[in-house]
Structure 1
Amino acid sequence: MNDYSEKGLLPAGLADMLPPAAAREARINRTLMDVFAANGYQQVKPPLIEFEEHLLEGAGAALASKMFRVMDPVSHRMMGIRTDMTLQIARVATTRMKRDPRPLRLSYSGQVLRVHGTQLRPERQFAQAGVELIGSKATAADVELILLAKEALDALGVTRYSIDLTLPTLVPSLAEGLGIDPVVAANAREALDHKDAASLEGYDAPLADLLIGLLKAAGPAESALAALDRLALPAAAAAQVEALKDVVAELKAAAPDLQLTIDPGEYRGFEYQTGLSFTVFARGVRGELGRGGRYQLVDGEPASGFTLFLDSLMRAVPRQKSEDRLYVPFGFDRKAALKLRQEGWKTVAGLAAETDIAAEARRLQCGQYLTPEGVTKLS
């Protein structure tokens, strides 16, 4: 094929990441992993592809429609390309690290691939970085993870972000406590998630009143909790709200500046979560920056974690000034150039004698060039 424009054409949702974007993503990833490591989270690296049934085990079934599948020519078994790394970390925790002391703190980063993008994230391949805290039911674990997400975002220089808390199991608990038919309960949960007030008002009391109350409760944490307190929830649902109040109180004490909102009825994207969950948003940034929450491993062990999406983070992280690229003319002493790199410069060496060093530096996108007098900045 000689048509180079055709060679550059990629499938929808896939793209080449070029300079300087690729370096910027790598820098963001390094910052995240350094913050996770500083908080005691050890990095693991699962494979990009593994047996299909392992990826679809337990909560992974909810992601079946998003998975690319291939036939392994060696084992003649179906394999799947990961759509999310959380479930792979769960597999590692229940197998290779089953006997490691709990709570187990693990971190990860890598690429994922999905069959379809979404309206907010049309990309089908993107990078994730996140953590999992395995083996603790304590609310302190939820608090630790949310504060860790805050620390990571602050380290990246992200501003004007908020963390939206939700209880994906609240409506099922409420419906069970009221003895509501499971089909009716599922439809009500769907209507609440879509903020369909007209449909919610069509249910019988007290279900309709409680659902409308949950719908109106969404908003800033303090007003949302006050609204939830006014609802006569069944015992199991009320216990979830009390746990949420404890988490909010601890977060406010530890990070008074953290902006918290609550949407008690949201569950889309949290299909396998079993408790408190959250989404991270930033003003003016398309798509969520990340999401996380509680879930259970296939052996019933409690776990919680969060994933940050690097494509969204690249839209939220302030752009730094261009890299300190220093043009080093042809023939310059190599040991001196090495010393410059050790001082933090990024050197671009000339490979042939130049008649106009400044012009060559500009052509190669360097901000500075080297002369016998020292470093000279391009005007």
Structure 2
Amino acid sequence: MKNRWLLPEGISDLLPAEARDLEHLRRTLLDGYVRHGFELVLPPLVEYLDSLLTGQGGDLDLKTFKLVDQLSGQSLGVRADITPQVSRIDAHLLQHRSVNRLCYCASVLRTRPTGLEGSREPIQIGAEIYGHAGIEADIEIIDLLLQSLEQAGLGTLRLDICHLGLASLLLAELPGIDVDSVLELLQARDLPALRELLAPWQAQPAAAALLALADCYGPASVALPRARAALQAWPAALALLDELDALLGAARLQQHASRVSLAIDLADVRGFRYHTGLTFAVYVSGHARAVGRGGRYDGAGAAFGRARPATGFSLDLRELVDLRRGTQPVPAVITAPWSDDPALLALIARLRDDGQTVLQLLPGQDAAHLAGVHSDRTIRNIDGQWRLTGKDS
């Protein structure tokens, strides 16, 4: 007989320590985004399916839970990614603005996890800039992403930069090629299989250049010269490489250099059907999957009547909290005995107003056996007055 208390695969509770850590991190990051001029939006959990999967959101079809609206009879979807919803808000509800900086944080639900042990209910937090096509917006977004992960205290980070315009330019010169297979093999750096797939086009310079992209990774001082040598016949590609070079040299990113290694990976073609140009991923030491991803998705909002240049990133707060597990201190609280004495209640209220956590013990509750908290001080009645003292005083 199935245990009715078991949760579906990829769905989990957050217990007090993790929930406390996640909420603290959520507030810290969102407050930081607001200080950078980003405005908070909160799209609905469900929308009409056509709206969720319109345009670039169509790649989410297999990840989206679908249901029927009992009021209208129409198909609804539970959001699997918040970014398409924010694009709709920018294009349709905030269309009077030339540039929008928007941020968000909420749960999403997916039919399948990302990775073997990923959650199907990530808590997605991110930031987007709409309305600016220049590299300045990309620099601002990447800077904010790196600040976010540094605030999360994850340790040594690596930022990988790619530009999907390079693969797109080369694939356009190979008519009839199986684009999805090329991208899969390039991402896996399976050069023998990729070489075999490209064999019918081996006389085309673009085929050799695609193979060369797999070797264009590592520090910019190594990867960019390799890329320039492989792509020297394409002036448009060289211009894109100049853009990458300028981005990595930006002062805002260089200020992270002591804590983040900056690198190029021109074979990282994830999101090719969604992203339209520069993309980036951040990795933390000891963790295989990227902890943060983002990039350009110009044309966002076209399906809603307003095509816009756009760039942004997203993180999964659940994943960040899991990576931080055991590194966050147990919060200290003040304990107080149970009493309705107005003087005690007034002291407790003052301490709480000052930002202190005061736990008033229930009758019979033992302060020595508090779970999940550390009591470092207590309130005692000394000579008829309530005083805050050290726990062992």
Ranges in structure 2 where 5+ consecutive residues have no aligned partner: 382-386
- String of CA shifts for 1:2-43, please: whole Å, max 9, x gaps: x9x934211111111111111111111111101110110001
CA distance in structure 2 between the partners assigned to 1:58 and 1:13 by the alignment: 28
- String of CA shifts for 1:292-336, please: whole Å, max 9, x gaps: 100121233111111011122113447321112222111261111
CA distance in structure 2 between the partners assigned to 1:343 and 1:134 by the alignment: 40
**2:237 is the counterpart of 1:237:** yes
Partner-residue secondary structure (3-state), 1:95: helix
Which residue does the alignment assign to 1:352?
A: 363
* Post-superposition offset of 1:255: 3.9
Which residue does the alignment assign to 2:195?
A: 201
Counterpart amino acid of 1:219?
A: G
* Post-superposition offset of 1:164: 1.2
Which residue does the alignment assign to 1:54?
A: 51
* Post-superposition offset of 1:128: 0.7
CA distance in structure 2 between the partners assigned to 1:106 and 1:70 by the alignment: 29
* Post-superposition offset of 1:208: 4.2
User: Which stretch has the larger CA shift, 157-166 or 124-133?
Assistant: 157-166
Partner-residue secondary structure (3-state), 2:34: helix
CA RMSD across the alignment: 2.3
- String of CA shifts for 1:46-70, please: whole Å, max 9, x gaps: 1010100000000010010000011
Counterpart amino acid of 2:193?
A: S
Partner-residue secondary structure (3-state), 1:341: helix
**2:184 is the counterpart of 1:190:** yes
CA contact (8 A) 1:157 1:317 kept: yes
Partner-residue secondary structure (3-state), 2:164: coil
User: Which stretch has the larger CA shift, 37-46 or 290-299?
Assistant: 290-299
Which residue does the alignment assign to 2:314?
A: 307
Which residue does the alignment assign to 1:322?
A: 330
Which residue does the alignment assign to 1:66?
A: 63
CA contact (8 A) 2:292 2:315 kept: yes
CA distance in structure 1 between the partners assigned to 2:255 and 2:131 by the alignment: 23
- String of CA shifts for 1:326-347, please: whole Å, max 9, x gaps: 2211126111111222233212
User: Which stretch has the larger CA shift, 250-259 or 334-343?
Assistant: 250-259
**2:139 is the counterpart of 1:139:** no
TM-score norm. by structure 1 comes to 0.90
User: Which stretch has the larger CA shift, 148-157 or 76-85?
Assistant: 148-157
Aligned residues: 370
Partner-residue secondary structure (3-state), 1:191: helix
Which residue does the alignment assign to 1:224?
A: 223
Counterpart among 152, 155, 175 of residue 156 in structure 1:
152
* Post-superposition offset of 1:363: 5.9
CA distance in structure 1 between the partners assigned to 2:358 and 2:99 by the alignment: 45
Which residue does the alignment assign to 1:265?
A: 267
Counterpart among 25, 30, 36 of residue 28 in structure 1:
25
Which residue does the alignment assign to 2:76?
A: 79
Which residue does the alignment assign to 2:101?
A: 105
Counterpart amino acid of 1:377?
A: K
Counterpart amino acid of 1:260?
A: L
**2:290 is the counterpart of 1:288:** yes
CA distance in structure 2 between the partners assigned to 1:329 and 1:168 by the alignment: 63
**2:5 is the counterpart of 1:8:** yes
* Post-superposition offset of 1:120: 4.5
CA distance in structure 2 between the partners assigned to 1:366 and 1:188 by the alignment: 55
Partner-residue secondary structure (3-state), 1:79: strand
- Residues 164/90 of structure 1: CA separation in 2 closer, same or farther (3 Å cut): same
- Residues 378/235 of structure 1: CA separation in 2 closer, same or farther (3 Å cut): farther
Deviating beyond 6 angstroms after TM superposition, the runs of 4 or more aligned structure 1 residues are none
Counterpart among 335, 340, 346 of residue 335 in structure 1:
346
CA distance in structure 2 between the partners assigned to 1:255 and 1:50 by the alignment: 39
CA distance in structure 1 between the partners assigned to 2:281 and 2:318 by the alignment: 15
- Residues 378/146 of structure 1: CA separation in 2 closer, same or farther (3 Å cut): farther
Partner-residue secondary structure (3-state), 1:163: strand
* Post-superposition offset of 1:283: 0.7
Ranges in structure 1 where 5+ consecutive residues have no aligned partner: none
CA contact (8 A) 2:62 2:111 kept: yes
CA distance in structure 2 between the partners assigned to 1:129 and 1:288 by the alignment: 15
Which residue does the alignment assign to 2:209?
A: 210
Partner-residue secondary structure (3-state), 1:165: strand
Which residue does the alignment assign to 1:165?
A: 161
CA distance in structure 2 between the partners assigned to 1:45 and 1:364 by the alignment: 31
Partner-residue secondary structure (3-state), 1:262: strand
- Report sequence identity in percent: 30
